[in-house]
Amino acid sequence: MYQSISQRVTELRNWLTRNGLDALIIPHEDEYLGEYVPEHNERLHWLTGFTGSAGAAVITQTSAAIFVDGRYTVQVRKQVPQELFEYRHLIEEPYLDWLQSHLPTGSKVGYDPRMHRASWLTATQSKLAGELELVATEGNAIDQLWHDRPAPVVSDMRLMSDELVGVNSATKRQRIADILRSKKADSAVLTELDSICWLLNIRGLDVSRLPVLLSHAIVHSDASVDFFLDPARLAERFENHVGAGVRVHHPDTLQTELEKLSGKKVIVDPATSNAWFTLTLQNVNAELIKDADPCLLPKAAKNATEIKGMKACHVRDGAAMAKFLSWLDSEVAAGKLHNEAQLADKLQAFRELDPTLADLSFDTISAATTNAAMCHYNHMNQPEPGKLEMNTLYLVDSGGQYTDGTTDITRTIAIGEVSDEIKQQFTLVLKGHIALAKARFPKGTCGHQLDVLARQHLWANGYDYDHGTGHGVGHFLSVHEGPQRISKVFNNVALLPGMVLSNEPGYYRADGFGIRIENLELVVEVETQGDFHVHGFESLTRCPIDVRAINVNMLTKPELNWLNDYHQKVWDDVSPLVEGDVKQWLKQATQPIAH
């Protein structure tokens, strides 16, 4: 591996010389800028050996560095040769600062505009102005040097019937066309894979954990769409499925079709589209409108059919979780302390009993003992997976992609008897979870305005967690859906009925233990005696919360009532789907706690 990486770095430096460049930026992202990168686009991994989900590398003729955030500071040292790359913190020392300190004024820094957001290009040009010259490359250097590059996954296109999604594609396209006209736009470029699949009511599995097809689209104010996907991949009856007005093009013609927008007013979302679209449209004198992807809000606010599906798949997912947790308790009682990989595989096997499961919604976070203190831990990136230990905690964050919805759930499980200190921290997290679940808020409220509810009890005792409290979740689409979210960071997107968000406060003690309790919540309208609209949350997740880790004396009567009511709903919905020992376990796990 070391020799191979060394050779690749040398080849890349030769490429720099041939192209008259002094440095090259290699981000982890690919041209689709999604959270998940398919294997054939893992360019950063090819060059460096790094397998993390975020990072970047910079290569000059005399030096190189890899930049990762705090999640990967240990992992990067195990995977990337220190003789070739300096290790740098992505946040504390951004790679643009590193470039400015390592290159003389006037140096040419290459970048592939397809691998960077349009917003990045604007900010970077401003930062480097007068010091370094940013040069868009023709083609991608890694692609030219990666001779044993895996072939892309070519999955089957799945047509989503009205019975599953509620609204046909023609109706959705008309709604988006109305939005375009309201913004005086002729067209909008769609680069978010889940937006395209939502608009055309199709799904695929081109990317692991994300039920999409690698494609692009342009939607126009007359409700027509130019869809860029190899026509050979179209499902039978695709034309009838989408209706008139969808023109299918081979991806190789994308630039040609973009150039036809010369002189047109085109929405390009700088936060989601890559810089190549902006540069291409600017070159043909299109008038760019910097605005959000017009599909984001309509997609985020689920319709009645999608809501019904989300509720149904969460009940079935809850049954899979109950089977897993019942099995786990019986194994621990028998003295069988499995490792993290075995546990993740077992949970996946229980989910796969459901024929509607298309994939997991993300790689399962299966974290035993101190590993749970790393909130985005992945046992597959370790030399060997950790193992359960008695009198500690086990954290499992997992989910499924079902044909009628997407799930995401975290449960923290007591393995044996846990300490009073662990119970205190678990209960503080639970109190925050309950506070957010019970929240009532006026129409127009944004997620950042609710974040304090989940943190208040931790804050009161001098604790916090270093991640957001809630992310949006799609309907058989991305498990991390925008634009809605709940976090400390300002977000001006109001929460709308039909949106689904996670509720996942946590607590993490380095080298000690980790706790997270996550349910998915549906935003609903709440009837009140007042004269203005009030919204609240309805919990979708159906799985017990481990009462063995709770200090009941720390819970108020309303909090206990919420927990007992929630467990009653779990029992009512899930018990008909399980039997035998699992049903007996579920009955015990959902017993009401006395006040």
Residue 381 has pLDDT above 80, yes or no: no
* Partners of residue 289 on adjacent β-strands: 267
Q: Which tens digits make up the pLDDT trace of 313-364?
A: 999 999 999 999 999 999 999 999 999 999 999 999 999 999 999 999 999 9
Q: Which of 280, 266, 242 is nearest to 31 (CA)?
A: 280
What rounded mean pLDDT belongs to the chain?
96
Segment 207-229 mean pLDDT: 97
Q: Which tens digits make up the pLDDT trace of 248-299?
A: 999 999 999 999 999 999 999 999 999 999 999 999 999 999 999 999 999 9
Contact predicate 191/32, CB 8 Å: yes
Residue 1 has pLDDT above 60, yes or no: no
pLDDT computed for residue 3 by the predictor: 54
Contact predicate 230/146, CB 8 Å: no
Task: Take residue 122 and report the two structure tokens written for it.
Answer: 């604007």
pLDDT computed for residue 376 by the predictor: 79
pLDDT computed for residue 120 by the predictor: 95
Q: Which tens digits make up the pLDDT trace of 9-40?
A: 999 999 999 999 999 999 999 999 988 899 99
Identify the band that residue 532 occupies on the pLDDT scale cut at 50, 70 and 90: confident
pLDDT computed for residue 208 by the predictor: 92
Residue 232 has pLDDT above 80, yes or no: yes
pTM recorded for the entire structure? 0.94
Handedness of CA 236, 241, 243, 247 (dihedral sign): negative
Q: Which tens digits make up the pLDDT trace of 95-105?
A: 999 999 999 99
Contacts 24+ apart (CB under 8 A), 226-233: 226/257, 227/196, 227/200, 228/253, 228/254, 228/257, 233/154, 233/157
Torsion of CA 41, 45, 50, 51, to 10 degrees: 40
Identify the band that residue 482 occupies on the pLDDT scale cut at 50, 70 and 90: very high
Handedness of CA 555, 561, 562, 567 (dihedral sign): positive
